[in-house]
Amino acid sequence: MGVGLGIILLLAGLVLAFDVVNVGTGWVDEGPLGWILIAVGALAIVLALVMNQQRQRVTHVEERRDLSA
């Protein structure tokens, strides 16, 4: 979910930063908001990949005891 959310934020930021669509809100400047969304989206992708990499390093040890003796 983290990578998908990061990609969505990144794309929304690119649309706003490069003025692809004119949103038309007078109280928000789309340029800086787009750059903020780009930074947050990139950070979300990096954090999701780092957390996924740490999850793969876990090893499980199984201990067996012979109780028949």
Q: What ranges do the domains of the chain cover?
A: 2-56
Q: Check residue 60 and give its pLDDT.
A: 81
Q: Check residue 43 and give its pLDDT.
A: 96
Listed as ranges, residues in the chain with pLDDT below 50 are none
CB atoms within 10 A of CB 3: 14
Q: Check residue 69 and give its pLDDT.
A: 62
Cα–Cα distance for residue pair 66/69, rounded to 1 Å: 7
* Core vs surface per residue 9-46: b (16+ CB within 10 A) or e: bbebbeebbeeeeeeeeeeeebeebbeebbebbeebbe
Q: Check residue 34 and give its pLDDT.
A: 92
Cα–Cα distance for residue pair 44/30, rounded to 1 Å: 21
The amino acid that residue 32 corresponds to is P
* pTM metric for this prediction: 0.74
